[in-house]
Amino acid sequence: MAWIYLMFAGVLEVLWAYTMKQSAGFTKPLPSLVTFVTMAASFGLLSVSMKSLPLGTAYTIWTGIGAVGAFVVGIVVLGELVSTTRLAAAALIVSGLVLMKLSS
């Protein structure tokens, strides 16, 4: 179950990063509220997953899901720049996540 909690925590991290962007510096109430709620839920699920997963593994996977997920949302939803270098960087992060999972 710890891995499932961790995956959901990572997805919520992507959501709160996106809604934080939409909040325009916390000047828009609804995106601001969604940011804080999903942030709290993400941290809570991360905390529960850390009961049985090593700190380094759990935190690395959580931040990696958030980083790559936010990168994808930025491109797909927000129309951010796609370049070979950015794609290679994301691929390296995913490779690191796979290696971290395999080592646990």
Question: What are 67-90's pLDDT values in tens digits?
Answer: 999 999 999 999 999 999 999 999
C-alpha closest to that of 97 among 72, 70, 68: 68
Using the predicted structure, report yes or no on whether residue 102 has a pLDDT greater than 90. Answer: no
Percent share of the chain, pLDDT over 70 = 100
Q: How far is CA 12 from the centre of its chain?
A: 7
Question: What single letter denotes the amino acid at residue 95?
Answer: S
Q: In this predicted model, what pLDDT tens digit does every residue of 11-20 receive, in sequence order?
A: 999 999 999 9
Question: How far apart are the C-alpha atoms of 60 and 96, rounded to whole Å?
Answer: 9
104, 3, 55, 98 alpha-carbon torsion, rounded to 10°: 50
The answer to whether 21 and 78 have CB atoms below 8 angstroms apart is yes
Tally of CB atoms within 10 A around 31: 18
